Each structure stands twice: as C-alpha cells, then as structure tokens.
Amino acid sequence: MLKLEKRPQPSQLWTWATPVLAVLITMVAGGALFAALGQDPVAAISTIFWQPLFGEFAFYYRPQLLIKGAPLVLIAIGLSLGFRAGIWNIGAEGQYIVGALAGAGVALAFYPAESALIFPLMVLAGALGGWAWGMIPAILKLRFGTNEILVSLMLVYVAEQLLAAMALGLMKNPEGRGFPGSRNLRQYDSAHNAELITGTGMHWGVVVALIAVIFAYVLLSRHLLGYHIRLAGQAPRAARFAGVRPARLVLFCLGTSGALAGLAGLFEVAGPAGQVSIDFNVGYGFTAIIVAFLGRLHPFGILLAGLLMALTYIGGELAQSNMGLPAAAIQLFQGMLLFFLLAVDLLTNYRIRLVTKEVA
Amino acid sequence: MVLSSIDPALLLASLIVASTPILLAALGELVVERAGVLNLGVEGMMITGAICGFAMAVNTGSPLVGFVAAAAGGAILALLFALLTQVALANQVASGLALTLFGLGLSSLLGQGYVGIKPPPTTRLDLPILSDLPFVGRVLFSHDLMVYVALALVALVWALLKYTRAGLILRAVGENHEAAHALGYKVVRIRILAILFGGACAGLGGAYLSLVRVPQWTEGMTSGAGWIALALVVFASWKVGRVLLGAWLFGGVSVLQLNLQAAGVAIPVEYLSMSPYLITILVLVIMSADKSRAPGSLGRIFHASH
C-alpha cells in the first residue's frame, strides 16, 4: 500500500525537477490529444517546441519569443509576489486592459503633437491605470473583508466592457471610416513602443520585464519586505507576531501586480498591438497565472517559464496554420500543463512510501 | 417613457429563467464548500457542461439526454479537481484556477463544430389550470422542466443538510476535518462525493445556458456566470435559502439590464453590460462583513497522518 509522508522541508531537488517533469508529461498527454485529433503527435509537438526556435523560418519566430514572453513575465512577476503571500490577484487581465487604456488615452490626448516626453508619460499612465484597478480589490478587502479573488475577477469583465466602450466610443479613430478601434499608435512616432534593436523583437516592455525580474529577486532574497511576503505565505500567525502588517502586504502585492500588468498592457498597445480594439486582450493575464506557478513563484523560474509559454503561443500559431490544429488545442495544452504541475508537486512536499499493512 | 415598454410579468418570468444557471451552479458549490472544499473551477465546469449538453442534445435530438451528459461532463471535470486536491493534496485555489483554464480550453475544442447551430427546443411544461392563472401563471407556471428541477434540488439540498444524518456528517467534515476524521468519518471520500455533486450541478447550469437561456453555443459563453455563482455562495452566507434569493437578485439585474438595452435607454450598451459584475462586487462588499458563517475547514488541505 502506498502512503504519503510529509517531508519536514520541501525537497530542493523536486522543487526544480517538478516543472520539467510536468512539461514532459504535458508533451506526452498533449501528443495523445493531437493524435486523437487526427494529427501526427511527433510532428505536432516538434512544430510547437522545435520549429519556432530552430526551423526554417526561425529568424521570424525568435523575435516573437520576446514580444510574447515580455508581457507574460511582467504580469507573472507581479502575481508571484501576491501568490507567495497568499494574496490571490487573478484579475491581471483587467489590470492589463486598464493599463493599456490609460496609456493609450494619454497618447491619443496629445495626438498629433510630437515630444520625447509623451512616451514616458504613457508608461506612467499605464502603470497608474493598472495600479488603480488592482487597488480596488485591495481596498475592498481591507475595508470590507471581501474576497480579492472574486472582486479582481469581476473587474476583468468590467474592464472588457470598458475596453469595448472605448474602442467604439471615446477612443475611436475619427479618421477610421467608422471602423471600431483607435488610431494606430505605431504610426505616431512619439507614442510608438518601437523595436530597440531591429530584428530582435526587443522593445521597452522586454527591458522593463528584465528589470522587474531582477527587482523581484532582490526584493525577495535581500529585502525585509520580501522576507515578510514569504513569511506571511508560509506562516501567517508567526508573521503577525514578527510584526508583519498584513494590510500593508495586501496593498503592496495587489498594487504592484496591478502596476506591472498595466505596464504590460501599455507596452503591448503602443507596440505589437498598435491600437485599442475590442479584441485587444488575448488572455495574457490568465496565462501568466500558469507562468507564475510553472516558474515556482521564483523570479528566474518565471523568466524561463514565460519564454516557454511564449513558445507554446508561437508554436501553437504555427501548428494552426501549418497543420490546421485548432487554436483551442493550445489553450487546452496550457491548461493541462498547470494541472500536471500541481499534481506532480506532490513529490516536493511529500514522500511516497511503500508500507505493508501492520498487523493489529 | 422607455421603461413602460417593459412588461412586468414577462420580466419576472425571464428573471426565473435567467437565475436558473447560477442557481444550479451556486447550489452545487454550496455543498462543496459546506464539505470544506473551495472549488474555484465552477466557471470551467459550467462551460464544459454547456458544450457537453449542447453537443449531446444536438446529436440525439433530445435536450434531456443533453442535460444528463452535461451533468456527467461537469462531474468528470470535477473528478480531476478532486484527484488534485484530495489525493495529490494540491493547493485548492491554484487547482480551481487550473480547472477553469482547462475547462475553457476543452470546451472551445469540443465546441468547434457546433457554432451557429440551433439546439433542439426544450419543451415548456405547461401545467394545466396553474399556467392559465393571470400573471402568476406566466411568471411561475409556464417554464421548462429544468426550472422546476433546480427548485426541487434547492429544497432537497436544504432538507438533506438540515435534517439528515448524511447532511450532519457533511457539515462536520466541513467545519472540522480533524475531528470528523477522529470520529471515523471518511473525510476524503465524503469530500470527493461533494465535489462530484458540485461538478454535476455546475454542468447542468452550463447546459441550461446553452440549451435554454441563449440557446446556442459560443466560445466562452458563460462569461463569468461561474464566478458570480461563487460570489453567490458568499452572499448566501453558506445558507441554501439565501442562494435562491441571491440567484433571483442576480437574475433580476441581468434581465433588467438586457431589457434596458432593448428599450434603448441613453446609456451605452457596454456600461449596462457591466452592471451584473458591479452588482456582484457591491453585494460582496455588503455581505462580507460577516465571515463567521464560513465553514471552519474551508480551503484547508486534509492529510491524515494516522
């Protein structure tokens, strides 16, 4: 008979081995899924994981890795701070949208003036927009004791409606011949989040994402606030005795993750997406939850996990156009990854022992 | 006056229809939470139920088979959650989120061939005499079978939790799993059964959306109904009767805003569409002050070491 025995300390080895194991299991299960859809499983998996990096058109796909990875890493870093402290912000998608709207709003307000100050102002507005949207669940939680999970999630739907209202109303391009969507910020030099080095996909969002990774690493390993965050998550009671103020953590975690998600939205709307449109958001805010867990809530882990997730997005698109694999299959694939990760995580905290039944 | 174009009897009748999906899902989640498990995957189970029910109803031509399939689909997805949280002892919040993300992906994959199809109509159950009553007949007694099933289920769950031994054991497991375990109750087994029931209910709720309320299949069609159901359980302070009240309130809000949209009120459609979510937040704010009603072991991992 198998018996679970709690480890006194989480296993260091398994902490880092489980994400790899989960990815491998997902590849096998995903292969089975693709086979069930009538595709060659090996070809499908290699299209998703190999072709974008080393295939014939890799020069086109490699920059995409940074473009898609940056928002995922940026959002996931913010989420991981809260997840560590037991504060669950799952409304990053909404904060991402509001950040983009705030940033684009600044740009559109100044159009067509050209100034070097416009882009920094947009970045500030984007961060503030996301921060403000994240503060709503934080303040409601502190003031009224509402559940931040439900409130932050409800605000995603509110933000989506706000996005539609803006794309069809206030921010609609007056020269757009009646089509929904704002002016294209890529054609507005002062507001364009352009590639910094041509052909690499490197834009300001990538730079900020890398800074966020380093910032989060220093915070968690070297700073008292980071220690408090970890303590609050692992031993809430002990944390209170140690002088951790939970209210401050809630404000900090939800505010920071909101601001980072808002930044991700701003860099996306000013660069790769270019305009405020009804279908501007593509679910980065939700995928980032998977990224945060896959990266073990560790900044460097999140960086790797973000790149891997970006790869599945790109590979998924490739498999869609080359093999006719449905887009939903990739979404399912990403969901499966989180499932397997949570399941094999058992090995980190528990030891599986084979025991013979004792005779009474 | 635009509001005069809204017929109150019709409004109340559609309120009951609109409240049924979240009523079913919230009722299931209430049982799960009373057993001490927080399953945040309601949205995922609902939408999986929606497509399972829709696909089976279209293929067999029978909405009834569709509803059975929806309950089965929701329960199967819930089984994954049960395995993760009860056997693999994973974090319930993370597992619930995983279930929702997985369910959304799965449903859009399953639903590929079903976009733009009309499902077989669910027949209205006209009760003789009662349906002919003025006003009350139209509001209460001219609905399809599932509305009455949902209401019967509310009564059944209420009676089970309040008056039976099984209900008492379920509540004991939810209030204090260590004590329940010491008394010899099978905590994990009871919780798995509760989770399966919750999944089946969420599946039914989803199918009611795709087969009756809308009725057609579109990707992501639950659009937060599962999360509203979760909020409803908090709103109801984990009491069955209040779930019914809450469901009617939310049904009323969503029907009213749709009616206002149709009546052409001078507010952009998008702002009206926000209202159910804003009301949910408002209700959470009002109701969350009293945390004392939450089951004692809610969301905590149970690992029997002896």
Q: Which tens digit of pLDDT belongs to each residue from B136-174? A: 676 677 778 889 999 999 999 999 999 999 999 999 999
Higher pLDDT, B228 or B294: B228
Q: Which residues contact A20 (CB under 8 A, 6 or more apart)?
A: none
CB-CB under 8 Å, B108 with A328: yes
Interface test with A, best of B81, B100, B108, B281 (most A CBs within 10 A): B281
Helices (H), strands (E): how many in chain B? 12, 0
Chain B residue closest in CA terms to A345: B90
Between CA B95 and CA B99, with CA B96 as vertex, the angle to 5 degrees is: 85
User: Chain A partners of B96 at a C-beta cutoff of 8 Å?
Assistant: none
- Looking at the complex, report in whole angstroms how far the Cα of residue B84 sits from the nearest Cα belonging to chain A: 6
Instruction: Between B272 and B43, name the one with better pLDDT.
Output: B43
Q: Chains A and B: how many Cβ contacts under 8 Å?
A: 134
pTM, 2 dp? 0.90
Domain boundaries, chain A: 69-296
**Residues of chain B with pLDDT > 90: what percent?**
51
Substitution target from A331, A333, A336, A355 for chain B, most B beta carbons within 10 A? A331
Q: Are the Cβ atoms of A157 and B80 closer than 8 angstroms?
A: no
CB contact under 8 A, B227 and A326: no
What is the pLDDT confidence band of residue B32, given thresholds at 50, 70 and 90? Answer: very high
What is the average pLDDT score of chain B?
Answer: 88
Which of A150, A327, A338 lies nearest to residue B101, judging by beta carbons?
A338
Nearest chain A residue to B38 by CA: give it. Answer: A149
User: Residue B103 has what pLDDT?
Assistant: 93
Say which residue the tokens 């799952």 belong to: A90
CA dist A78 and A82 (Å) reads 7
Q: Which residue of A has its CA nearest to B268?
A: A165
Contact A148, A87 (CB under 8 A): yes
Would you call B98 and A335 a contact, using CB atoms and an 8 Å cutoff?
A: yes
Confidence grade of residue B3 (pLDDT, cut at 50, 70, 90): low
ipTM for the whole complex: 0.87
Q: pLDDT tens, A64-110?
A: 899 999 999 999 999 999 999 989 999 999 999 999 999 999 999 98
Taking alpha carbons only, the member of A346, A335, A322, A288 closest to residue A47 is A322
pLDDT of residue B78: 96
A157:B281 CB<8 A: no
- CB of B142 closer than 8 Å to CB of B10: no
In angstroms, rounded to a whole number, what is the distance separating the alpha carbons of residues A196 and A191? 14
Residues of B in contact with A88 (CB under 8 A): 93
- Of all residues in chain B, the one with the smallest CA distance to A3 is B305
CA atoms within 13 A on the CB side of A358: 3
By Cβ distance, the residue of A150, A162, A350 closest to B89 is: A350
Q: Do B90 and A328 touch (CB under 8 A)?
A: no
Would you state the pLDDT for residue B288? 75
Q: How far is B93 from chain A (nearest CA, A)?
A: 8
> What's the confidence (pLDDT) of residue B1?
43
Which of B40, B97, B218 has the highest number of chain A CBs within 10 A, making it the mutation to test binding with A? Answer: B97
Query: Is the per-residue pLDDT at B226 higher than 60?
Result: yes
Q: Strand, coil or helix: what is B61?
A: coil
Record: contact B278-A158, CB cut-off 8 A: yes
pLDDT tens readout for residues A25-74? 999 998 898 888 888 888 888 888 888 888 888 888 888 899 999 999 99
Q: Smallest CA–CA separation between B138 and chain A, in Å?
A: 33
Least Cα separation, residue B87 to chain A (angstroms): 9
Say yes or no for a CB contact (<8 Å) between B284 and A329. Answer: no
Give the C-alpha separation, A253 to A141, whole Å. 13
Determine which of A140, A149, A347 to mutate to test the interface with B (most B C-beta atoms within 10 Å). A149
In angstroms, the separation between the Cα of residue A104 and the nearest Cα of chain B is 19
Report the pLDDT value the prediction gives residue A212, as an integer from 0 to 100: 95
The residues of chain A scoring below 50 in pLDDT are none
pLDDT for B109-142, tens place per residue?
898 888 888 888 877 776 677 767 777 676 677 7
CB B18 within 8 A of CB B78: no
- Residues B50-76: b if buried by 16+ CB within 10 A, e if exposed: bbbbbbbbbeeeebeebbbbbbbbbbb
Looking at the predicted structure, is the pLDDT value of residue B6 above 80?
A: no
pLDDT reported for residue A97? 96
The predicted structure's pLDDT at residue A358: 60
Using CB atoms, which residue from A6, A154, A332 is nearest to B280? A154
Chain B hits for A76, CB-CB cut-off 8 Å, are none
Tokens of A162: 């706000």
- Closest chain B C-alpha to A122 CA, distance in angstroms: 25
Determine the distance in angstroms separating the CA of B280 from the nearest CA of chain A, rounded to an integer: 8
Cross-chain residue pair B98–A338, CB shorter than 8 Å: yes
Give the Cα separation of B128 and B187 in Å (integer).
46
